[in-house]
């Protein structure tokens, strides 16, 4: 919040006394509170003294401790805190040597001298702090203005007839819809192809968000893979690649099939553990990713694991390398430096692209 004083000593024509508007007084109080260099609620000495005097005045009739009484007491405490804060602020205003007095008073003058404990260097430090705060406010306002652009884009997408056509799966022949599979993952892959056709630059299909269709196989791993998870995914992925190739979309579209981590090579037994019988726990040390289209070599494999797929044994690749490969494939330098809203520099990724994957 930017605090500034815009006017002083507005004269009352009828009485000749100096007056100021409530808004101006609030601004001056805020300025004085800024000058108080410790939290206001730890500086309420007058309030403490008042409470101590009441406490030492002798026994008082105890009021019923009900909800209404508690709320009333809390309101009184807040009011005392606010009044005390204003008293401290007004006291600080006098220390800052800003006085309101009748213009017609004998010896009238406007004091603007610095307090004895504030030298020029300290004043400049405060000015620098205020400039930094104002700069942060301006940057946030710029970010908010930028967000308006994205809101407008979002609304325009929702109102677009082209968007509605792209999401209309009923426009596809039954033969094509059956090719992908009449299930969530199959129809999601079909929708991805339609969005790519409509000109969308980045599309994600997420599978495993509902109970029963997730890949988090902490129990009954092999049965779930064979009978529930792999059939629909195999069908949809094969249909997507074949359909995109037939439509001339595959050469200019990089398709990535990946999970967030692998599964443990150790099969769990029944027992009081997080992993149930026949389950495989999380395993980030080793897993596979499939690339297709976008200039990738067909049928090419890169790297290898040990005998039980526990750890990489040849040419290990990190998630940072995966990100660098994606950026490189779409023509973006992985070492590109970008800046956040605070101006801090960041590199897109520290990984290295696996260029051997591409022809």
The total of other beta-carbon atoms located within 10 Å of residue 277's CB is 13
Closest to 264 in 3D by CA, of 213, 219, 207:
219
Q: What is the pLDDT along the chain (359 residues), one digit of tens a residue?
A: 333 233 233 333 333 333 344 444 444 444 444 444 433 333 333 334 444 444 455 444 555 555 566 666 766 776 666 666 666 555 554 444 444 444 444 554 444 556 777 787 887 888 888 888 777 777 766 666 666 777 777 777 777 888 889 999 999 999 999 999 999 899 999 999 999 999 999 999 988 766 656 788 888 889 989 998 899 999 999 999 999 999 999 999 999 999 888 999 988 876 556 677 888 888 999 999 999 999 999 999 999 999 999 999 999 999 999 999 999 999 999 999 999 878 899 999 999 999 999 99
Decide: 189 and 205 in contact? Cβ < 8 Å.
Answer: yes
CA–CA dist 334, 47 (Å, integer): 61
Decide: 239 and 180 in contact? Cβ < 8 Å.
Answer: yes
Position 331 scores a pLDDT of 93
**Sequential DSSP letters for 45-77:** HHHHHHHHHHHTT---PPPP--HHHHHHHHHHH
> In the structure encoding, which two tokens stand for residue 55, read together?
């406490």
CA–CA dist 189, 215 (Å, integer): 17
Q: Based on the number of CB atoms within 10 Å of its own CB, is 196 exposed (0-12), middle (13-18) or buried (19 or more)?
A: buried
End-to-end CA distance of the chain: 57
Decide: 2 and 30 in contact? Cβ < 8 Å.
Answer: no
Position 85 scores a pLDDT of 62
Closest to 323 in 3D by CA, of 334, 335, 337:
334
Decide: 277 and 221 in contact? Cβ < 8 Å.
Answer: no
Domain boundaries, the chain: 11-54+70-116, 160-316
Q: DSSP label at 296? A: B
CA–CA dist 317, 321 (Å, integer): 6
The total of other beta-carbon atoms located within 10 Å of residue 296's CB is 19
CA–CA dist 302, 308 (Å, integer): 17
Closest to 240 in 3D by CA, of 207, 287, 213:
207
Decide: 216 and 262 in contact? Cβ < 8 Å.
Answer: no
CA–CA dist 300, 250 (Å, integer): 17
CA–CA dist 187, 193 (Å, integer): 10
Position 71 scores a pLDDT of 66
Closest to 291 in 3D by CA, of 321, 315, 336:
321
58 dihedral zone (left: phi>0; alpha: psi -120 to 50; beta): left
pTM summary value: 0.58
Phi/psi for 38 (5° steps) reads -155, 160
Strand pairing of 254-257 and 290-293? antiparallel
Position 118 scores a pLDDT of 75
């Amino acid at each position: 919040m930017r605090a500034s004083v815009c006017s002083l000593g507005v004269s009352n024509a009828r009485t000749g006394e100096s007056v100021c508007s409530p808004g101006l007084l609030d601004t001056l109080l805020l300025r004085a509170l800024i000058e108080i260099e410790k939290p206001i609620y730890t500086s309420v000495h007058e309030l403490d003294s008042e409470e101590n005097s009441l406490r030492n005045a002798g026994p008082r009739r105890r009021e019923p401790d009900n909800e209404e009484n508690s709320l009333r007491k809390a309101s009184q405490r807040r009011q005392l805190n606010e009044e005390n804060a204003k008293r401290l602020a007004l006291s600080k205003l006098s220390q800052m040597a800003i006085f309101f007095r009748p213009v017609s008073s004998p010896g009238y003058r406007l004091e603007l001298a610095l307090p004895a404990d504030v030298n020029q260097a300290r004043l400049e430090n405060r000015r620098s702090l205020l400039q930094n705060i104002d700069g942060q406010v301006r940057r946030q306002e710029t970010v908010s203005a930028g967000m308006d652009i994205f809101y407008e884009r979002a609304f325009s997408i929702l109102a677009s007839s082209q968007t509605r056509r792209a999401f209309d799966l009923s426009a596809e022949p039954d033969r094509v819809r059956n090719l992908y599979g009449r299930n969530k993952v199959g129809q999601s892959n079909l929708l991805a192809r339609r969005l790519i056709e409509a000109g969308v630059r980045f599309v994600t299909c997420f599978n495993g968000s509902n109970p029963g269709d997730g890949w988090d196989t902490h129990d009954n791993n092999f049965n779930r893979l064979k009978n529930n998870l792999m059939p629909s995914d195999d069908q949809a992925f094969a249909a997507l690649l074949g359909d995109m190739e037939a439509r001339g979309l595959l050469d200019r579209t990089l398709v990535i099939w990946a999970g967030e981590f692998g599964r443990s090579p150790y099969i769990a037994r029944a027992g009081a553990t997080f992993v149930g019988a026949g389950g495989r726990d999380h395993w980030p040390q080793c897993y596979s990713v499939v690339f297709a289209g976008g200039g990738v070599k067909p049928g090419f494999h890169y790297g290898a694991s040990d005998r039980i797929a526990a750890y990489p044994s040849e040419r290990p690749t990190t998630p940072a390398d995966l990100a660098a490969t994606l950026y490189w494939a779409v023509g973006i330098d992985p070492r590109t430096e970008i800046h956040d809203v605070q101006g801090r520099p960041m590199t897109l990724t520290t990984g290295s692209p696996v260029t051997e994957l591409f022809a």
